[in-house]
Structure 1
């Protein structure tokens, strides 16, 4: 059973089209139990400032070799470049409203990397997010797809009351509760699989907030198709993968990162904003200060440095594939070793535009450790690659 759903938006968040291809039926494995009553699902999520490592192993995990000349500008610190460590703000889940204890990520979820916790819900549920801003500047949580009142939109703009504006820019140290309803129109359509994916992200300054790292996923399962924890009962493994060129030049923490890791940098040269290759042709891969602050990542990791995504042959695997960011964020996710069916055509490559979300079902039949990467050549060579493993 393989299916896919496309969504993409103009800046005004107008849906252009939904392309759907689905096959099979929603069947559950023995012992699966669906959630039968609407539930209030409460999450305790904070914006935390951390030191993020884009390549924690210090090597190219795709090749198993030390970084070469092409990779070095993106991951190795030098007097005039920052390297692989950056201050960022990320969403982290806590155990309760005291926000004293971070909720440990399950081993199977560590691949999420820079993404916030997956917020699961079933159609008919209510999501309550108790949000604590542990960062040093105002942030928020804005959801896509679900139903909310103005005070839970997570964006402050003309037409908002002073009370509603509080949720659009939560001050450092403050706590705010968002309430999001999950109606039928937030869940799967008639030809969708049993669950679909939406973004959530900070929206005080949409670009700078997300380039700084504040982004996550909401997964909505059809009514009657969810386990008690909100996950779809007809799926064995879920994966959320974000293809994003993080532009650290637009991060709120750029100056901190310069002062900490590259103090000799006094300011980027204007020409560096137009990356050129050795022959002077336009390229996304450059070696100047500005260029090396573009991080071509999957879940915030470069060159396969994220935790290995694992599954078993024959598992019902659901991939939620996302893209975000600026106009360069057109991506072509490609799975080696297994295929998907998109718009009634079998393929192993998808097409993602900025702020687009896709849901893909796969039943892997080919054991091994396989490459998963963006097939845009510049993106792949700059580090947008990961690995997934199918066990026999």
Structure 2
């Protein structure tokens, strides 16, 4: 049996002020989960699955990290500082006494180099706030030791596209399993081992050597993904992973509308970044609603996004509109908290996706959120499903694989062609070094 180790997790935020609930919890005992990283196949395998003998091991944790959607302080699409950008002003992206701005605490997946979860594994800077890239070939098993460092929030890893048995589903609903099984919901400070198989049904499309799938937390998908718990999986045909990686620049493009008002960290962010308004937004005397709300265990309710809020006209209208009817949630005006982002960046604040002239590149695109997007690259076209295209539409929950030959040098934009999303900042840089420049990248294999 051959084992590959590519290791993974999410980073810890400092709890600010005694009034804030803890958001980071160090697991006390990981030995039980570490022992389950044993290479044993799940109790059931799908028809047609032929185990290659290869195990791809990952170490992943969910943690809180402070994230800035526009770290340069500039609207790089207009070429002006944020405080001079009419777009940033229009959408409430400037920090004020009624708007958090562009810096929020996010719940993210981050990778580690081993089962002690002490050293984070490297990931490319352009990947942004996405979770680490998981990779494997058809016939492999992906074995993940997952640790939840969030407190008091539950979290999971749910695969979109790979095969899993019920104990590795990572999804919380009345599904016939025992109450509060670790495979359904990982408690704060807890851990679980997921075993995902890559059967032929998860293989790349005909004529392709690779394909994008995804993973995300699924306690309450809306709140979990808006908090930031999403990540990519790339699947390759048998025996082609190393060659595909060596001959192509591979990039992930996550198009998402992150509504920070729906994040299970929404109230935490209000208390940390707008403490003057926290008392107006949250009613701490409220009781838990009878129905399930927010990021909340089905069997063990927890205080996350469920305290009742005071809906009245005394709070600034552009922060907490009178028309807001979500009385069981913290509630912001969408235009202030909705970030139309690519990999966690707005207004081209991303580290560029870089290529040398004539490089082969694969852009893997995924969409999580509430809206359709249209990926468009200035300067170069992409091949999708055998058709050359200038733009590629993508729907929420969808993953696409596209190919580019980097023939046109320059610093270019890759954008969403949906006008509102473009205005909100859904643009990113990509760069192709010209033949008369020295390309600083390691050359691809031919």
Interval containing the TM-score (normalised by the shorter chain): 0.7 to 0.9
Out of 330, 337, 361, which is 2:403 matched to?
A: 361
Q: CA deviation at 1:271?
A: 3.0
Distance in structure 2 (CA, Å) of the matches to 1:319 and 1:99: 30
SS at 2:348's partner residue? coil
Report the secondary structure of 2:75's partner residue. coil
Cα drift, residue 340 of structure 1: 1.7
- Work out whether 1:188 is the aligned partner of 2:204: yes
Matched, 1:80 2:103: no
> C-alpha displacement at 1:345, in angstroms?
4.2
Q: Give 2:244's match in structure 1, choosing from 232, 236, 244.
A: 232
Q: 1:241 aligns with which of 235, 250, 253?
A: 253
| Equivalent-residue separation in structure 1 for 2:204 and 2:125 (angstroms) | 26
Aligned pair partner of 1:378 in 396, 406, 420: 420
Task: Please give the residue correspondences for 1:288-303 in structure 2 after superposition, counting only pairs within 5 Å.
Answer: 289-303=333-347
1:97-124, CA deviations, whole angstroms, 9 ceiling, x for partnerless residues?
A: 111111122xxx2101010000000011
Whether the 8 Å CA contact 2:61–2:111 is kept in 1: the answer is yes
Q: Distance in 2 between matches of 1:355 and 1:333?
A: 15
CA shift, 1:315, in A, is 1.0
Alpha-carbon separation, structure 1, partners of 2:361 and 2:137? 19
Alignment partner, residue 148 of structure 2: 133
Deviation larger for 199-208 or 252-261: 252-261
Distance 1:38 1:255, change over 3 A: same
Find the aligned partners of 2:369 and 2:334 in 1 and give their Cα distance. 16
Counterpart mapping for 1:221-370 below 5 A: 221-227=236-242, 232-233=244-245, 235-265=247-277, 266-267=280-281, 268-271=320-323, 289-326=333-370, 329-342=371-384, 345-370=387-412
Q: CA deviation at 1:163?
A: 7.4
Q: Secondary structure at the match of 2:264?
A: coil
State the 1:52 CA deviation. Answer: 1.1
Superposed, 1:140-219 pairs within 5 Å as 140-162=156-178, 165-191=181-207, 193-219=208-234
Give the Cα–Cα distance (whole angstroms) in 1 for the partners of residues 233 and 142 of structure 2: 10
The CA RMSD over aligned residues, in Å, is: 2.0
Q: Which has the larger radius of gyration?
A: 2
| C-alpha displacement of 1:64 | 3.0
Change (3 A) 1:377 1:38: same
Is this contact kept in 1: 2:204–2:210, CA < 8 A? yes
1:50 aligns with: 65
Task: Give SS of 1:379's match.
Answer: helix
Indicate if the aligned counterparts of 2:346 and 2:425 stay in contact, CA closer than 8 A: yes
**Corresponding position: 1:69 with 2:101:** no
Q: 1:159 to 1:322 in 2, by over 3 A?
A: closer
Runs of 4+ residues over 6 Å off in structure 1: none
TM-score (norm 2): 0.72
Which structure's relative contact order is higher, taking Cα pairs within 8 Å and 6+ residues apart?
1
Q: Secondary structure at the match of 1:132?
A: strand
Gaps of 5+ in 2: 1-50, 282-319, 327-331, 435-446
Q: May I ask how many residue pairs the two structures share in their alignment?
A: 335
Secondary structure of the residue aligned to 2:391 is coil
CA separation of 1:164 and 1:153: change in aligned 2, threshold 3 A:
farther
Report the TM-score, using the length of structure 1 for normalisation.
0.81
Deviation at 1:37, TM superposition (A): 5.3
CA distance in 2, matches of 1:295, 1:41: 34
Once residues 71 and 83 of structure 1 are traced to their aligned partners in structure 2, the CA distance between those partners, rounded to angstroms, is: 9
For residues 240-280 of structure 1, give each alpha carbon's deviation from its aligned partner in whole angstroms, at most 9, with x where no partner exists.
11110101110011111112222344342243689xxxxxx
1:81 touches 1:289 (CA, 8 Å); kept in 2? no
Q: How far apart are residue 145 of structure 1 and its match?
A: 1.2
Q: Residues 12-31 of structure 1: matches in 2 within 5 Å?
A: none
In structure 1, list runs of 5 or more residues that go unmatched.
1-35, 275-287
